[in-house]
Amino acid sequence: MANLSADLATVEYNLGVVRERVAEACARSGRAPESVRICVATKYVEPDAMAVLRDAGVTIAAENRLQDMIAKQERFGDDFEWHFIGAIQSKKIREIAGRVSMIHSLATESARDKLANLEPPVPSLLVQVNVSGEESKQGVAPEELAAFIAATPHPVSGLMTMPPLTDDPEGARAYFARLKQLADEQGLNELSMGTSQDFAVAVEEGATLIRVGSVLFSDPNK
């Protein structure tokens, strides 16, 4: 990505803005600000820059790629709570599960079935749902969700989604509301939804985890 700057002042400032906007969205929707956890997508940064994220006050590191996560954990493993948010190759899921406290992106039967007989502690599991039905998107179809959860060999804590890209954050609202409805139907509490462009809308619709990346690294003066 162009114009990314992972310097401490920038990340600290932007993280403060994100926290404020989360608190405002919580106030608008009658929620407690502590009910939303901010996960930072670390795919944009080299392992070195994890020190900046730590010093800026980031607590949850959310990675997309196992190899990159391993490199970051070698040096900064104790500095963060680690989550996995990327596409999962089923043959890698047991290694991923051993390295994180939450997997947001459980999306295929083959990966799910390889979770059997894991050594505890088993991470919290979120099922990624393809709410929009776009063919390019990862995720379980809404109508297959109940059966998918029933066949998961460990408890499922919640759901995650990536809405279609739009320029207008309001464009994502209906998808977030639908994910919340699906979670309620399944009796699930955790909702991972909202990225840099639409996290405030996601919080209004019930997100308990937001996943933000680019907003933290952009120059606040532009």
Ligand X SMILES: *Cc1c(COP(=O)(O)O)cnc(C)c1O
The amino acid occupying position 97 is A
CB 151 within 8 A of CB 179: no
- Residue 157 or 197: the one with the smaller Cβ distance to ligand X is 197
CB of 159 to ligand X, least distance (A): 13
How many Å apart are CA 210 and CA 217, to the nearest integer?
Answer: 16
CB of 64 to ligand X, least distance (A): 5
CB of 47 to ligand X, least distance (A): 17
Interacting residues with ligand X (CB under 6 A): 41, 43, 64, 85, 162, 195-197, 211-215
CB of 66 to ligand X, least distance (A): 14
CB of 18 to ligand X, least distance (A): 10
The amino acid occupying position 89 is Q
CB 42 within 8 A of CB 6: no
CB of 221 to ligand X, least distance (A): 19
178 phi/psi in degrees, rounded to 5: -65, -40
How many Å apart are CA 15 and CA 65, to the nearest integer?
Answer: 23
CA-nearest of 44, 38, 94 to 64 is 44
